[in-house]
Chain A
Amino acid sequence: MKILDLLIGQMSSASALKASWLMIRIYKISIALVFAWGAELAIAENKTVDNQFMNLSIEELMNVKVTTASRSPQKLTQVAAAVFVITQDDIRRSGATNIPDALRMAPGVQVERVGTDKWAVSIRGFNGVYDNKLQVLMDGRSVYSPIFSGVLWEQQDTLMEDIERIEVIRGPAAVSWGSNAVNGVINIITKKAADTQGTLLTAGGGSFEQGFVGARYGGKINEETPFRVYAKGFSRDHTQSLSGGNANDQWHSARGGFRADHNRGIDQFTLQGDLFSNFDGSALDKNGLSLSPTLTSGMRGHNEGGNIRFRWDRTFSESTSFMLQVYYDRNRSQLLPVGKFDAESFDIDMQYRFPLLDRHNITWGANYRLYHNKIFDTSLTTFSPRERTNHLIGTFIRDDITLIPDRLLFTLGSRFEHNDFTGMEIQPNARLMWTPNTENSIWMAVSRAVRTPSRAEIDSLINLTPQFQAFPGLPTLPFPIAASLQGGNHFNSEKLIAYELGYRHQFSPQASIDMTGFINDYSQLRDTNFGTLSLSTGLPRQFLFPIIANNQGSALTYGVETSVDWKPRDNWRLQGSYSFLNIDFSTNSAFKKTDPSSGAASKANPQHQLSVRSNYDFSERLQLNLWLRYTSAISLYNIPSYVTMDAKLAYKPTKNTELFVVGQNLFSQNHQEYVSDFIPIVPVFIPRGIYAGAQWRF
């Protein structure tokens, strides 16, 4: 409780807002109450509930699915970290047509749509189109770009029906997932081939989601070797810029892939691959035009890529297992004049888990990753050298120590990783989990994590003239100014030490709550300072104004995240989440009031986010799902707070078919969510959307 008290104390002293004050007091009270209930429950524990499986026939029993969570050595309720799982059922009921929109269901995740094909997704602050503190993996394949530290969300997709779950881990998780898992990790996990047998066809369309079609076939090569193949395509409308113009970001996408699993005794093998092609675009911000009058503001881009992955698992026993994974990923992208690149990565990863002595469970792993990429010069960005190969080699060890069986678990681990830019990075963490009984668990953690430099911070020269000309209070000079952001070899990793405290409580089989508080202490964050102003020698004569990336920023952030899950009735489920975030950034930069990634970070991230979902089944055939969201204002971009709602009505006329109507962002014609902070493209409104469709399984 001490850390939480500290946190609450800090929050109350720091936030002057009356609302926050009241909120904190209510929090204090509710936390106290929750503890009181916990005590009550411990007494009333000895009642028995019927085992629902006792009445099943043995054939039926053989078809009961024992969830993955219970199979994994660490059950979800026993994880000493802020974990939230978005299930396939959640995704289906939400009506989300893409992964970033589905992530809005998790507490503490900030998802702001920047255009039809662009999102800014972050956890615990520092949001941006390329949020550099969030690691993202699809089936164990890192999709975090080493070029500009971030995730190209438009490339991360699959058949939504084939996603088994999305695990969202808030807070540092560098030991298991490597560098750049600073503020969190998102793990998108697709179903096993055995779970996607049969044919699935889905199609539909509407206003913003203009049209989509998806197909999957799952079969068996033999009894031990199930497989699936899938293909999907969609077309999404363009958005409108704030001034009402066409933002030119209509998006057409096609994607296909396969997965085959093979079971042989204690061994399991998986081979999986995908291919995709996207046609999208953007409109350059008008300010950009003053630089190169020949440019038209509309840009059309294209990106394509693919990956292949092989994984081998050997399970010796419940507590001893071995895993080996190899993957190759390639993607090419161009959106001129902003950027054009060709990137590939290769990774080999192994893990071994075994018990030691009586009370220790050791997990040990090592990985090697190769990044090779080529970035072509454009009028806005130049990389030198253009082409680079980088190596990353890492190893980690983690020990789960049972201090008191079933009650007290202590975890100690560290990752040791070497990268080409900053050398060895050591990222340790310690976690303690106390489970006094099956209803309550309390955990705390202290972790260190780093965000390693991207190529953009080392090799790039980014033309900032357009943004710079928009900079207020600039004196008039006799020559035009050419401003540029320069990376350099001196750029170091960003560091974080995080303190977290969490509490979970199961009120009844129908209701539970999960609360987390954190304090993040960042140092050596990216910041910028002015280089020396000089006059160019060639023509046209202009001032060269270098802006140089440095590591002089530091920040203290704190926040709370809560999620609740309640089934008031068998056919009705309510899920709510609330998160609060405060960022204090220390900087001396001249851009401290305008740079969303440093001094202005606190104003570029919403402080409060709220989401409430209601899933109501009128009958087995008719379901109504509602989803209300609130995001507080983002003052840096003058974006007001907004409340919006999505709704999905699904009807199953027969067992195999489903018809659905989905409304998205229903509360207003359109609303603004964010502004592209890195690429100079026009800010847009996200429109209301309605689509309908059908799904057929056989």
Chain B
Amino acid sequence: MGMHLFNRLLKRSDKFVKRIFYHFLFALYLGFCLPVSHSVAMADSMVEYQVKAAFIYNFIAFTHWPDSTSQTINLCIYGEDYFGQEIDKLQNRSVNNRHIKVTRIADFDQLKACQAIFFSKSVSRQLSSILNDLQNEPILTLADNPNATAQGIAINMSLVNEKIVFEINLTKVRASGLDISSKLLQLAVKVHQ
């Protein structure tokens, strides 16, 4: 019975298809123009930096700064910002009775006022000399470029098999007077000491 009906529809397909087509376009029009105002698009490409921002939050949470450190953790982004608004979602979040303040830094001299710095890929070439300058400062240095660990970054993220992993340079962390929780050390793919 049902098949018979469809066969008849098939024969009259010209009209049928025209109708389907117009309905399709109409649905498109309705479906797409109504929910537009709701939210901002979140491209696939953002996922990587969303996850990295969440990782940074965790790195801060598992790090112990000397007691003399201020109540605000200044999280600085140095170099080109790939996070967009993702990193701003850490703003005013509290960790261990301190709260995070996100700052984008263009001037190299301001770096010493930060408690944590994320070095963007765009500054990877100057990394060694900057880190040299910041040696022994109680600053958690973070990056996501393959050569950063060799250059002396404390925690470096990388993509392996489409997942984010990190390695820790414990020697550097200790030299700067910070303490990293053993849980974080266990989860690192590599700990340099």
Q: Which residues of A lie under 8 Å from residue B18 when comparing CB positions?
A: 19
Contact of A263 among B17, B45, B48, B161 (CB under 8 A): B161
Q: Does B7 interact with chain A (Cβ within 8 Å)? A: yes
Once the chains bind, are B13 and A640 in contact (CB under 8 Å)?
Answer: yes
Once the chains bind, are A510 and B35 in contact (CB under 8 Å)?
Answer: yes
Once the chains bind, are B160 and A49 in contact (CB under 8 Å)?
Answer: no
B127 to chain A, nearest CB (A): 12
Once the chains bind, are A508 and B159 in contact (CB under 8 Å)?
Answer: no
Q: Which residues of B lie under 8 Å from residue A16 when comparing CB positions?
A: none
B residues 12-28 near A (Cβ < 8 Å) are 13-14, 16-18, 20-22, 24-25, 28
Once the chains bind, are B13 and A263 in contact (CB under 8 Å)?
Answer: no
Once the chains bind, are B159 and A566 in contact (CB under 8 Å)?
Answer: no
Q: Which residues of A lie under 8 Å from residue B184 when comparing CB positions?
A: 58
Once the chains bind, are A642 and B13 in contact (CB under 8 Å)?
Answer: yes
- Chain A residues touching B, range: 35 or more
Q: Which residues of A lie under 8 Å from residue B57 when comparing CB positions?
A: 54
Q: Does A576 interact with chain B (Cβ within 8 Å)? A: yes
Please give me the residue from chain B that is nearest to A76 by CB atom: B44
Q: How far is the CA of A195 from the CA of B163 in the complex (A)?
A: 11
Give a binary string over A61-95; 1 marks a CB under 8 Å from any B CB, 0 the rest. 11111111111000111100000000000000000
Please give me the residue from chain B that is nearest to A60 by CB atom: B54
Q: Does B10 interact with chain A (Cβ within 8 Å)? A: yes
Q: How far is the CA of A584 from the CA of B147 in the complex (A)?
A: 56
> Which of B83-91, B105-113, B172-180 lies on the face that meets chain A?
B83-91
Contact of B160 among A69, A263, A564 (CB under 8 A): A263
Q: Which residues of B lie under 8 Å from residue A576 when comparing CB positions?
A: 24, 28
Q: Does A50 interact with chain B (Cβ within 8 Å)? A: yes
Once the chains bind, are B17 and A630 in contact (CB under 8 Å)?
Answer: yes
Q: Does B36 interact with chain A (Cβ within 8 Å)? A: yes
Q: Which residues of B lie under 8 Å from residue A61 when comparing CB positions?
A: 51, 54-55, 58, 164
Once the chains bind, are B24 and A66 in contact (CB under 8 Å)?
Answer: no
Q: A62-B165, A66-B159 are in contact. Are A48 and B31 (CB under 8 A)?
A: no
Count B-side interface residues using an 8 Å CB cutoff.
64
Q: Which residues of A lie under 8 Å from residue B124 when comparing CB positions?
A: 317
Q: How far is the CA of A578 from the CA of B25 in the complex (A)?
A: 10
B residues 89-131 near A (Cβ < 8 Å) are 89-90, 93, 121, 124
Please give me the residue from chain A that is nearest to B165 by CB atom: A62
Once the chains bind, are A70 and B121 in contact (CB under 8 Å)?
Answer: no
Q: Which residues of A lie under 8 Å from residue B17 when comparing CB positions?
A: 608, 610, 630, 632, 641, 643
Q: Does A538 interact with chain B (Cβ within 8 Å)? A: no
Once the chains bind, are A53 and B50 in contact (CB under 8 Å)?
Answer: yes
Q: How far is the CA of A71 from the CA of B53 in the complex (A)?
A: 16
Q: A58-B58, A507-B35, A610-B24 are in contact. Are A51 and B29 (CB under 8 A)?
A: no
Once the chains bind, are A509 and B42 in contact (CB under 8 Å)?
Answer: yes
Q: Does B37 interact with chain A (Cβ within 8 Å)? A: yes
Q: A61-B54, A612-B24 are in contact. Are A438 and B43 (CB under 8 A)?
A: yes
> Which of A3-11, A39-47, A522-530 lies on the face that meets chain B?
A39-47
Q: A30-B29, A610-B21, A630-B17 are in contact. Are A66 and B42 (CB under 8 A)?
A: no
Q: Does A420 interact with chain B (Cβ within 8 Å)? A: no
Once the chains bind, are B121 and A318 in contact (CB under 8 Å)?
Answer: yes
Once the chains bind, are A30 and B16 in contact (CB under 8 Å)?
Answer: no
A387 to chain B, nearest CB (A): 44
Contact of A51 among B32, B35, B37, B50 (CB under 8 A): B50
Q: How far is the CA of A552 from the CA of B156 in the complex (A)?
A: 61
Q: Which residues of B lie under 8 Å from residue A442 when comparing CB positions?
A: none
Q: Does B47 interact with chain A (Cβ within 8 Å)? A: yes
Q: Does B33 interact with chain A (Cβ within 8 Å)? A: yes
Once the chains bind, are B50 and A71 in contact (CB under 8 Å)?
Answer: no
A residues 296-337 near B (Cβ < 8 Å) are 315-318
Once the chains bind, are A508 and B39 in contact (CB under 8 Å)?
Answer: yes
Give a binary string over A1-35; 1 marks a CB under 8 Å from any B CB, 0 the rest. 00000000000000000010011001000100100
Q: Does A266 interact with chain B (Cβ within 8 Å)? A: yes
A204 to chain B, nearest CB (A): 24
Once the chains bind, are A33 and B41 in contact (CB under 8 Å)?
Answer: no
Q: What is the interface of chain B, defined by CB distance below 8 A to chain A?
A: 3, 6-7, 9-11, 13-14, 16-18, 20-22, 24-25, 28-29, 31-33, 35-48, 50-51, 53-55, 57-58, 62, 85-86, 88-90, 93, 121, 124, 145-147, 159-165, 183-184, 187
Report, nearest first, the 8 A-B pairs whose CB atoms are least far apart.
A506-B41, A53-B54, A75-B45, A58-B58, A66-B48, A667-B6, A70-B45, A70-B48
Q: What is the interface of chain A, defined by CB distance below 8 A to chain B?
A: 19, 22-23, 26, 30, 33, 37, 40-41, 44-54, 56, 58-59, 61-71, 75-78, 192, 194-195, 263, 266, 315-318, 438-439, 506-513, 564, 566, 568, 574, 576, 578, 608, 610, 612, 630, 632, 640-643, 667-669
Q: Give 20 CB contacts A-B under 8 Å.
A: A30-B25, A48-B85, A52-B50, A54-B53, A54-B54, A59-B187, A64-B47, A66-B47, A66-B164, A70-B44, A77-B43, A195-B161, A317-B146, A439-B40, A439-B41, A507-B35, A509-B41, A513-B32, A668-B7, A669-B3
